[in-house]
Amino acid sequence: MGNKIFRSQLYEYDYRTRVIKPKNRMCPRCGSMMAFHKVGKPRWHCGKCDYTIFVEEKKK
């Protein structure tokens, strides 16, 4: 098992705005990578210090 991280997993390309943005956020509390959870309420969660940021869904 390698721990290779592919670029496509770390960044996503927005075709509408043509902007490449990192998929993962850094935790404002401890500075480590946060994971995005889609189940339930979409949110960013830090596995290290348990910090959670809830993502507000955009209205169409």
Interaction site with Zn ion (CB under 5 A): 27, 29-30, 46, 48-49, 51
Nearer of residues 10 and 30 to Zn ion, judged by Cβ: 30
Nearer to Zn ion, 51 or 53 (CB): 51
**Nearest distance from residue 45's CB to Zn ion, in Å?**
9
Angle ∠(31,35,40) on CA atoms, nearest 5: 135
- By beta-carbon proximity to Zn ion, the closer residue of 20 and 28 is 28
Name residues whose C-beta falls within 8 Å of residue 45's C-beta, 6 or more positions apart in sequence: 34, 35, 36, 37, 51, 52, 53
